[in-house]
Structure 1
């Protein structure tokens, strides 16, 4: 393998400063927003390497398997572009998801295109280009994405020459509906049967597929067809587990439960698992991270003298 690429995480180990969220930006057209944002973060002191900035299980899986394999890690970031794992970054909070409190879309005057936003970020102070990722060697490049990040980052990836794309292996649930045509032939055929081989959530599906591939397939050379056949053979030996029926609830209901269980030593991952498995409530990881952070801020304000 030449490189592993994963997405950033809402969960971060450092709190952003006042100039490292969209809250400080005045509403403006997208081109103005990206220029202003890059100026802000370019003038903000880094706090940690990307590998140490992001938390959460999905990011941890990709980080750890890259380290174990001795392979360079890159991160697709909505705030910085395409970032080497060793790159030191400022603490920040930004997303292209419209309904998040740190959504850059909510500041846009006029249309907002995530792919154009990401392409502009790759000219920023912390980003590299896709060609730099593929220049790490001549082996496979493994890329684990969710659908929103695929929509944001893959239009630029698809511009690479065919000789590079033949080395690409893509991981992610439902990506076939959003990938540009040149990339669709390189999406590996993982499906819900992966949950029996490597249990987890939908939010870390891509990274679980990535880890499974590294541990069970990547040690042997092969083109895409050979790799895909190996994946299908491994999946053929198992069945997808029954998926639990979790009920949809409002943010306020989730906040009430989080507040009631919050303590100084509360584990976000353990609490999310409790909400899903014991309370049978549907809660996407990013949504939970936002509500957990809100409950923490409220708790800190209440405890202040």
Structure 2
């Protein structure tokens, strides 16, 4: 499967290529790209289809994912569920991929925002870097510890819900928000050990007080569906709709449940 996929990448039509920094246009990607540009840093993308991408690399659009469902789901084409790290290793042969080792060599901090599936995919490669390069890594994201080797856990920079008061958002974009905040904290600081960097974060968070939690009511899926239909008619994204549900309707709803209902309503 990997050989067939890499063959397709080799034959991708040049006329359909676009810059990686433009192709990945989600909120989290845009936020990190803008932070990198503002600080004069290079911007890279961890791509499950193409490998580690320099934002300035021209690439083809594609549809391949490690998610279990969807038309581009890799697992539906295999007789077994591959380890995400196995697939990532195969992408070393991608004609568009950059070398992780070269990315880290000789730099100060390398900031990496990850969700749990992507931490599972790239964690082994990060752990196998030479110690001098691993020491440059600062990994940001929620609930990543179980998905990373013990060799990387000291590189984790911890944030909590006080980040929401500094840069509002949801758990879904928590890694990018943490990276954006951390990057500005250390932008003018020489490379230090992870404990010193964590201390900067702890000091910044200590000045923030969490608001008293609002008392929100729980409702059935049928009631939620009425609100979802209204939000869709207003043209709201699922993220903004959930904010409105909580702040205006004072209804409690877990993010995963709300997104499921939103996707079902969209058809």
In structure 1, the residue corresponding to 2:208 is in which secondary structure?
Answer: coil
Question: Quick one: which of 28, 36, 44 aligns to 1:58?
Answer: 28
How far 1:184 moved relative to its partner? 0.4
Aligned with residue 155 of structure 1, among 124, 127, 134: 124
In the alignment, does 2:240 pair up with 1:273?
Answer: yes
Q: What is the match of residue 13 of structure 1?
A: none
- Between 1 and 2, higher relative CO (CA 8 Å, sep ≥ 6) is seen in 1
Question: Are positions 1:146 and 2:129 aligned together?
Answer: no
The secondary structure found in structure 1 opposite 2:43 is: strand
Tell me, which stretches of 5 or more residues in structure 2 are unaligned?
A: none
Q: Is 1:261 paired with 2:232?
A: yes
- String of CA shifts for 1:22-55, please: whole Å, max 9, x gaps: xxxxxxxxxxx11111212322224211100011
TM-score (norm 2): 0.83
What's the offset of the Cα at 1:261? 3.2
**Aligned residues of 2:66 and 2:73 also touching (Cα < 8 A):** yes
SS of the aligned residue for 2:93 comes to coil
Give the superposition deviation at 1:101.
4.0
Partner of 2:79: 109
1:25 maps to what in 2? none
Say what the alpha-carbon RMSD is for the aligned residues: 3.0
Instruction: Give the number of equivalent residue pairs.
Output: 254
CA contact 2:123–2:147 (8 Å) conserved in 1: no
Q: Which runs of 5+ in 1 are unaligned?
A: 1-32, 299-305
CA distance in 2, matches of 1:66, 1:171: 15
User: Which residue of structure 1 aligns with residue 187 of structure 2?
Assistant: 218
Task: Determine the C-alpha separation between the residues in 2 that align with 1:249 and 1:146.
Answer: 29
Between structures 1 and 2, the one with greater helix share: 2
Partner of residue 39, structure 1: 7
Alignment of 1:219-298 (within 5 A): 219-221=188-190, 222-241=192-211, 257=228, 261=232, 266=235, 268=237, 272-278=239-245, 282-283=254-255, 291=263, 295=266
Residue 169 (structure 1) aligns with: 138
For residue 185 of structure 1, the aligned residue among 150, 154, 162 is 154
